Amino acid sequence: MSLKVIKTDGTVEEYLHTKVIGTFNNALGLIEQPNVFAAEQFAEAITFHLYHKQAQRHIASDEIHLMVQAVLAATGYGNAATALNACRMNRAIRRRRVEVIDSDGHEIWDCQPWNKAIIVDELMTQRGMDMHTARAIAATVEEKVLNLGIGRVPHNLLRQIVEHDTEQMLIARDQLEMITG
């Protein structure tokens, strides 16, 4: 039976063990103590718990985040748990500070905080992309937009970033498929 994750933006996706490994690896990297073996072991414990001890088949990403923090704190990596939480909170604050405006300077989406789910939806509906590819593209776009450090992003600039990142992602996917056959 599959496990579904309810993301903070309300979307639902399949639980991916590799994302939990990546979260642990990133947390340990934040304190400059990368340890892929530990990340894999910690993620294995959470995945086991979710599939064998959890009665529900849906879990919020916030709950998984809390589990990651608890595992880190319980295994002597409390500083990584703190750094991970600070990083997550900082990203949430940065997202809330971004608005998309049209070329005339008017707000789009009723001044809603940044929401990469809109990009995911557009890529899936308008381009027929699968959810994982669309989410990967939206994540790279979000990273660029947040790194701009500006609160009001023109819609046409956002479109250009989406187009560029989509093209780059599809080229990389095609190259990978050629290599792996």
pLDDT for 105 beyond 60:
no
Q: What is the pLDDT of residue 102?
A: 78
pLDDT one-digit tens code per residue, 4-18? 999 887 888 899 999
Please give the Cα distance from 154 to 108 (Å, whole number): 9
- 44 Cα distance to chain centroid: 20
**Number of Cβ atoms within 10 Å of the Cβ of 144:** 16
pLDDT tens, 57-66?
899 999 999 9
The string of pLDDT tens digits covering residues 17-47 is: 999 999 999 999 999 999 999 999 999 999 9
Q: How confident is the model at residue 131 (pLDDT cuts 50, 70, 90)?
A: confident
Q: Are 142 and 116 in contact (CB under 8 A)?
A: yes
